Amino acid sequence: MRSLDLSAHTKRPREVVATVLLDRLSGYAGLVILALLSLLFGWQLIQDKSVLFSVLIITAILIAILLVLFNSFLYAKINQLLHSPDAGKIRDMIKNLHQELHYFRHRKGVIVNNLILSFFIQVIAPLTFYIIALSLGIKVNIIYFFIFLPIIGAITLLPISIAGLGLRDAATIFFFAKAGVSKDLAFAMSLINFSFILICGALGGLIYVLTVRHRRIQHHQAP
């Protein structure tokens, strides 16, 4: 929705899609960095191969995406695979997006600042979950939240459910069972957290919709 709105306003869809994609990618990168750091400091507490395997998977996915987007050699190889005449539009779309993203390779300051900000944003989710857990009388080491939540967050990115519903709940139950949390309490944590996401998202959406026209009027009136 953000891409559609900004594209219609700026008339520069390629740049808008590239920036929104980079924004999502930096968020995913922050999520992976948080998971790796948490696993590093909390491995003695976890020592679970399925958790290690999950972190390695989301890390490998991030590396693969970065290589495809920012490595010219791999990009050229993938472009060659799209040799079918029916893939013309797809090939052009990928080419345009790749060109726009390559612009950021020379803006390292922007990338670094974005990654730092994304990392701190990703820290909020485990802290929120931890506070919810305390309110439900769940007392487990906070490191579990910093390890499990990035994995759960990556799972909910899969485009097979609406807003991660079902996926988030099942993943929360599965991983927090390793910390001794019952299914009922883990499910309650997940639903309460989703209600907070829904409320904050609705408020943010209303603010965006109600103020977007005013912001654009100011933009056009600026000297």
Angle at 113 between CA 107 and CA 114, to 5 degrees: 90
pLDDT of residue 129: 93
Give the pLDDT of residue 79: 63
Nearest Cα to 156, choosing from 194, 205, 202, 182? 194
pLDDT value for 90:
59
Residues of the chain with pLDDT under 70: 72, 75-106, 163, 213-223
Q: CA of 184: how far to CAs of 23, 177, 191, 205, in Å?
A: 35, 10, 11, 31
Which pLDDT score, from 0 to 100, does residue 222 have?
47
